[in-house]
Amino acid sequence: MINSETSPPALSIQSLSVRYANHTALQDASLEVASGELMAVVGPSGCGKSSMLSAVNRMTDLIPGARVSGSVLIDDKDVLAGKMDVQQLRRQVGMVFQQPNPFPLSIAENILFALREHGVRNKADLEQRMEQALTSTGLWDEVKDRLQAPALGLSGGQQQRLCFARALALQPRVLLLDEPCSALDPIASATVERLIASLKGRYTLLMVTHNLAQARRLADHLSVCWVRDGCGCVLDSGPTLDLFENERHPLAYQYLNGVLC
């Protein structure tokens, strides 16, 4: 059990490169996310943002032919090292995907299943953690009367919040968000954004998004990615408002301010 008193870790990506069988998705990317902060990663399609995210919780292990080099340090421990326990890593680093993907189980089972798999057996513990997770995503009041109903019957926004709850129930310390709102309608999107904002401080968050306005609203820090010579790279990285308002890097500045379409 993780002590919730400790502050969330810092995330440091250093010279990360991700290569797939036939092309390089990301080349030599580096960025720093301070404890409890939300860093948004923006950029055009194909610049390796999702690959970067996948490397942090070693989801790249699942892709045949993927090669990852560089280092990703969470509280000074390199997750890419061979002896890292990937199971524990994925408990401490939660992920929410672009398309809401609740399991074809009941609402309660979606959360309890993952908890049980990670060794939580005590019934009281299970119930408490589930309620906690659902409450922190604002779902508890909406679903507490129909916990046994199929999760696929929920609306898109609710499903995505359930996916958040599912990840949060495992009490992670870092959250990876891959365009969490892009598949949702504006109202649902706003609800999820409020949820994300509420998570800052308790978790360290790395969020990929296409929505520059959203990045501006939510992120403490920003990284702008680009495609150079056919592979992705990080152009600039720093405090959000600084990047939006001051021309630190000409290309990044133009992209953020909509000059380049």
Partner 1 sequence: MSNSELWRGRALGLLALLVMVAPLSLLISVFGEGLQSLSWSFLIDEPLQAGRAGGIGPIILSTALVLLICMSLALPLGLGAALFLAQEVRPDSRLNLLLQWALDGLGAVPSVVFGLFGYRVFVVEFGWGYSLLAGGCTLACMILPLFIRGTEQALRDCPNSYNQAAAGLAISRFGYLRRILLPVAAPGIAGALVLSAGRALAETAVLLFTAGYVMRWPESVFDSGRTLAVHIYDLAMNVSGGGPSSSATALVLLSFAMAIQLLAWRIGKKTFSRETKK
Partner 2 sequence: MSLNTTSSLQPSADRLLRSASLLCALIAASLLLWILLFLTQASWPLLQKPAGLMSANWHPSSGEFGLQAMLGASLLSSLLALLLAVPAGLLVSLWMIFYAPAYLARPYSAMIGLMASIPSVVYGLWGLVVLVPLLNQWVPPGASVLAAGLVLALMILPLLVVQADTTLRVAANRHLAPALSLGVSQWSVIRRVLIPASWPRLWPSILLQLGRALGETMAVMMVAGNVVQWPMTPFEPVRTLTANIALEMSYATGSHLEALYVSGLLLLILALLLMGLARIYGSRT
The binding site for partner 1 (CB under 8 A) comprises 57, 59, 62, 64, 86-91, 94-95, 97, 99, 101-105, 109, 113-114, 117-118, 152, 163, 166-167, 170
Among partner 1, partner 2, none, what does residue 49 contact (CB within 5–8 Å per kind)?
none
Residue 109 Cβ vs partner 2, minimum distance, rounded to whole Å: 17
Classify the phi-psi angles of 61: left when phi > 0, otherwise alpha if psi is within -120 to 50, otherwise beta: alpha
Residue 154 Cβ vs partner 1, minimum distance, rounded to whole Å: 12
Question: Which of residues 73 and 114 has its CB atom nearest to partner 1 in the complex?
Answer: 114
Partners of 227 in beta bridges: 232
CA distance 195 to 213: 17
Ramachandran angles phi, psi of 226, nearest 5°: -150, 170
3-class secondary structure for 45-103?
CCCCHHHHHHHHCCHHHHCCCCEEEEEEEECCEECCCCCCCHHHHHHHEEEECCCCCCC
Question: Which of residues 118 and 216 has its CB atom nearest to partner 2 in the complex?
Answer: 118
Residue 163 Cβ vs partner 1, minimum distance, rounded to whole Å: 7
Question: Which of residues 119 and 186 has its CB atom nearest to partner 1 in the complex?
Answer: 119
Question: Which of residues 96 and 196 has its CB atom nearest to partner 1 in the complex?
Answer: 96
Residue 87 Cβ vs partner 1, minimum distance, rounded to whole Å: 5
Among partner 1, partner 2, none, what does residue 166 contact (CB within 5–8 Å per kind)?
partner 1
How many CA atoms lie less than 13 Å away from 133 in the CB half-sphere?
A: 27
Instruction: Looking at 179-237, list the stretches that DSSP marks H as alpha helix, in order from N- to C-terminal side.
Output: 186-199, 212-218
Residue 91 Cβ vs partner 1, minimum distance, rounded to whole Å: 6
Question: Which of residues 59 and 134 has its CB atom nearest to partner 2 in the complex?
Answer: 59
Among partner 1, partner 2, none, what does residue 95 contact (CB within 5–8 Å per kind)?
partner 1
Which parts of this chain interact with partner 2 (CB under 8 A)?
A: 58, 61-62, 64, 85-87, 117-119
Burial 10-33 (b: 16+ CB within 10 A, else e): bbbbeebbbbeeeebbbbebebbb
- List the one residue out of 93, 100, 102 whose CA is nearest residue 175: 93
State the amino acid at position 39 in one-letter form: M
Question: Which of residues 58 and 248 has its CB atom nearest to partner 1 in the complex?
Answer: 58
Residue 134's CB: how many other CB atoms inside 10 A?
26
Residue 64 Cβ vs partner 2, minimum distance, rounded to whole Å: 6
